[in-house]
């Protein structure tokens, strides 16, 4: 289809109200989505209300999402909602009933999601089929079409399950860590398994991956060095925020408040493409998130144009990151360890400070600070998920021994067959059959009770 036809069809599918404005109109912007057409319309009176439609080059619907005209005045039975969802999918992809099988129904607040996939050996192929969200009143609000996938080779001879279990059991270890469980306010002290980061091939002819375990959580790091220059630090100045910048946006993220600060005026959009949309929104801005309760900075990213070049060494950039960290966490040396710095593809210095307390790490807890050597400013910052000082409130001595934890873990360990994308075949649409480990994600170190999946 030509572009005008694709746009017209997208408008019809989206049932776009006349007063909505076209915000994005993009054709074949991304190479991996070559030939796709992507549209977003928004309500000028309420920008949160959007209609999104993505079409293949032949006009087939790939993505649909709407927040327009939602009604909650009635509640239909699940069976009727499922039929409505299937009729919508079949209207845009007529072979739906023949190709795909029901996988799951998920409760998602005011919506219900139905998931359909293609199956081989009774097992679902990942990234196949489609998913669809529908309100309880019967309105389709989201549709995502994956398609049929591709080749899935069935092994001629399967590896014995007991051999696979033995492989994992002999390789795994448990380590004490602090972790935030089930969105609780405080972290717990737990034993967490460290296993090879792969799924075991089900075909006897497949090569078993290297057994080396690489886990960022186990990186010990080094003690945090003291500041060479102890001076008053303005974290916002270090981010490049200046007095002539104005707040041009604010957004509520629940526990956090987001804000956007811009220097000068926003540039005019060159066109309605996705690239132009983000370039216009981001140019010469600094975006931040702060904790509503404490006012502490949680994240920041700079899109400021560089005015100078090549002034600061890697060591100076690392010192800047340390100053920033100590400004946010005056007792940083009690809770952070420093990991080796890395230089990214843009030549920026990436500093990674992992969180530890009493010799025990916080899972995925780290402060990440990127320093731009051309400006000496902070280009990006991400805080740990929790305030490190909360770890002081936790008993760091386990009541459950390592042997007890291992016994509890092994009693619940199992493997099951699954299809997974086979990237070695040169395409994410090829699949191979594997044994996936199934195990409790943690053993509570203070309770003799294991957490099951």
* DSSP per position, 240-305: T--TT-EEEEEEE-SSEEEEEEESSPPPPPSSSSHHHHHHHHHTTEEEEEEETTT--EEEEEE-PP
What is the predicted pLDDT for the residue at 399?
94
Taking the CB of residue 40, how many other CB atoms lie within 10 A of it? Answer: 22
What is the predicted pLDDT for the residue at 452?
42
Nearest to 340 by CA among 359, 355, 318: 318
For residue 45, how many C-alpha atoms fall within 13 Å in the half-sphere facing its CB?
5
Output the CA–CA distances (angstroms, integers) from residue 199 to 162, 167, 196, 413, 436, in the order listed. Answer: 15, 11, 8, 14, 5
Give yes or no for a contact between 136 and 114, defined as CB atoms under 8 angstroms apart. no
Give yes or no for a contact between 387 and 401, defined as CB atoms under 8 angstroms apart. no
What is the predicted pLDDT for the residue at 453?
42
Give yes or no for a contact between 350 and 343, defined as CB atoms under 8 angstroms apart. yes
Give yes or no for a contact between 29 and 18, defined as CB atoms under 8 angstroms apart. no
Residue recorded with tokens 């104005």: 246
What is the predicted pLDDT for the residue at 96?
87
Residues of the chain with pLDDT under 70: 29-34, 68-73, 210-219, 307-310, 425-429, 448-453
Taking the CB of residue 442, how many other CB atoms lie within 10 A of it? Answer: 21
Write the DSSP symbol of residue 82: H
Taking the CB of residue 358, how many other CB atoms lie within 10 A of it? Answer: 13
Q: What is the pTM of this model?
A: 0.81
Give yes or no for a contact between 295 and 289, defined as CB atoms under 8 angstroms apart. no
Give yes or no for a contact between 256 and 263, defined as CB atoms under 8 angstroms apart. no
Maximum CA pair distance of the chain? 69
Output the CA–CA distances (angstroms, integers) from residue 346 to 154, 308, 370, in the order listed. Answer: 43, 15, 11
Q: Tokens in use for 448?
A: 């003799």
d(CA 119, CA 125): 6
145 strand-pairing partners: 130
d(CA 328, CA 388): 11
Strand order of the β-sheet with 129-135 is: 21-27, 37-43, 46-55, 61-66, 140-147, 129-135, 111-117, 101-108
Give yes or no for a contact between 12 and 64, defined as CB atoms under 8 angstroms apart. no
């Amino acid at each position: 289809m030509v572009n005008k036809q694709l746009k017209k069809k997208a408008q019809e599918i989206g049932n776009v109200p006349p007063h909505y404005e076209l915000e994005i109109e993009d054709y074949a912007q991304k190479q991996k989505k070559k030939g796709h057409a992507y549209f977003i319309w928004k309500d000028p009176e309420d920008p949160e209300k959007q209609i999104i439609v993505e079409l293949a080059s032949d006009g087939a619907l790939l993505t649909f999402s709407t927040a327009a005209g939602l009604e909650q005045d009635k509640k239909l039975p699940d069976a009727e909602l499922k039929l409505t969802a299937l009729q919508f999918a079949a209207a845009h992809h007529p072979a739906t009933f023949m190709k795909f099988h029901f996988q799951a129904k998920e409760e998602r607040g005011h919506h219900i999601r139905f998931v359909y996939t293609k199956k081989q050996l009774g097992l679902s192929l990942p990234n196949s089929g489609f998913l669809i969200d529908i309100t309880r009143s019967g309105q389709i609000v989201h549709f995502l079409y994956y398609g049929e996938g591709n080749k899935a080779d069935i092994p001629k001879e399967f590896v014995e399950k007991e051999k696979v279990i033995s492989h994992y059991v002999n390789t795994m270890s448990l380590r004490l860590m602090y972790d935030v469980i089930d969105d609780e306010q405080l972290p717990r002290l737990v034993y967490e398994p460290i296993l090879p980061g792969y799924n075991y091939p089900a075909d006897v002819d497949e090569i078993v991956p290297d057994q080396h375990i690489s886990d960022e959580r186990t990186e010990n790091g080094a003690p945090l060095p003291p500041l060479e220059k102890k001076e008053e630090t303005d974290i916002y100045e270090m981010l490049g925020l200046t007095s002539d910048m104005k707040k041009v946006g604010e957004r509520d993220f629940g526990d956090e408040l987001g804000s956007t600060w811009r220097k000068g005026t926003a540039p005019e959009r060159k066109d309605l493409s996705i690239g132009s949309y983000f370039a216009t929104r981001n140019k010469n801005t600094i975006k931040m998130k702060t904790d509503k309760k404490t006012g502490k900075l949680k994240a920041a990213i700079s899109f400021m144009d560089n005015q100078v070049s090549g002034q600061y060494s890697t060591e100076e950039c690392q010192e800047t990151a340390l100053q920033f960290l100590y400004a946010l966490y005056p007792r940083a040396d009690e809770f952070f360890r420093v990991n080796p710095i890395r230089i990214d593809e843009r030549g920026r210095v990436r500093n990674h400070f992992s969180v530890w307390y009493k010799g025990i790490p916080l899972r995925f807890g780290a402060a990440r600070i990127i320093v731009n050597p051309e400006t000496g400013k902070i280009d990006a910052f991400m805080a740990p998920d929790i305030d490190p000082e909360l770890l002081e409130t936790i008993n760091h001595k386990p009541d459950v021994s390592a042997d007890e934890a291992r016994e509890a873990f092994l009693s619940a360990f199992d493997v099951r067959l699954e299809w997974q994308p086979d990237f070695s075949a040169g395409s994410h649409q090829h699949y191979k059959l594997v044994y996936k480990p199934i195990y409790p994600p943690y053993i509570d170190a203070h309770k003799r009770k294991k957490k099951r999946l």
